[in-house]
Amino acid sequence: MKEHLLALKEEALEVLEKVATPKELADLRVKYSGKKGALTEILRGMGKLSAEERPVVGQVANEVREAIEEVVNCKQDEFTKAETNERLQAEKIDVTLPGRTLPQGGLHPLNKVIEQIEDIFTGMGYRVAEGPQAETDYYNFEALNLPKNHPARDMQDSFYLTEDLLMRTHTSPVQIRAMEAMKGETPIKVICPGTVFRRDDDDATHSFQFHQIEGIVIGKDIRMSDLKGTLLQFAREMFGESTEIRLRPSFFPFTEPSAEVDVTFVKKNGERVWIEILGCGMMHPKVLEMGGYDPEVYSGFAFGMGVERIAILKYGIDDIRHFYNSDLSFLKQFARQ
């Protein structure tokens, strides 16, 4: 039996040295030292040995088992290290490669124009005020000299939530709220940017939802010349130093006198034309009173412009709907400006 054990050891070590795969190693481990392996089969005959032979054969059997297990474990370690190195090579990161930059977005063109207008007017001492989009009939119409059933309301027919609550048709209600918040103190210099809503059909120049920026100035001895100078300064900062403006008489219920403002604009063919950009005027005495100011003591002016109209002129856009259809090919050009 001792000879069989030594022969098994020699055979097993020779075969194990030639193992090429982890599966082959596992199979040979079972073949030689498993519960039904060759070593176990030999040891089953120990019952036939004499008492003197058993310790000797048992010691040899342990030596054979340990020798086989040692080779198996060494081979297993080799396979594990090789597998780890192979995985590390496959997952290797070249730290010298340039990094992958994420795509960068940019401000929407309307937001860019709003921010630029805000910068211009805050640079002239104005503050920015905001108000609710769902507005009461009082602030949206009545406090602006547009009593119920006034025909001028037809131009701003809008979306009513209740009989007395509607989506605001202009940002003028914010002006009244700003006047009330000042409680008769002056001066007031405020601009009011925001979204407004009107029952318009969508086309190249109209939308049921658009953006306005309105402004007011209230104090003593405020004159039409102050208004014209302010708007000239704005136009030149927005469109260029050579820009000129002209005021044409118009009608607004909340200002008196009122005017439409045109700016000079150069077409692609070089022709210089006048284009309307906003409305303005001296604040109506009734509006001053509704806001808490004595029109015999104080005066003021107001103006309002559509942000989309300014953006169309500034960027040469031919259709207002481009601002709202989320076309990335259109929007990406403004990220670089």
Which one, of 282, 287, 279, lies nearest residue 300 by Cα?
282
- Within 10 A of 68 (CB to CB), how many other CB atoms are there? 22
> Which residue, 188, 189, 210, is CA-closest to 199?
210
Assess contact for 306 and 323: CB atoms under 8 A: no
How is 145-188 classified by DSSP, letter by letter? T--TT-GGGGGG---BSSSSEEE-SSSHHHHHHHHHHHTT-S-E
Type of residue found at 79: F
Residue-wise DSSP of 75-133:
HHHHHHHHHHHHHHHHT---TTSPPPPPPP----HHHHHHHHHHHHHHTTT-EE----S
> Tokens in use for 105?
């977005």
Strands 299-306 and 209-219: antiparallel
Cα separations in angstroms, 196 against 13, 141, 153, 160, 314: 89, 14, 15, 13, 21
Q: How many CB atoms lie within 10 A of CB 83?
A: 11
The answer to whether 14 is a known ligand-binding residue is no
DSSP classification of residue 20: -
* Residue 203 in tokens: 């086309």
Residue 254: in which H helix or E strand, if any?
Answer: none
Binding residues: 256
Binding residues for Mg(2+): 256
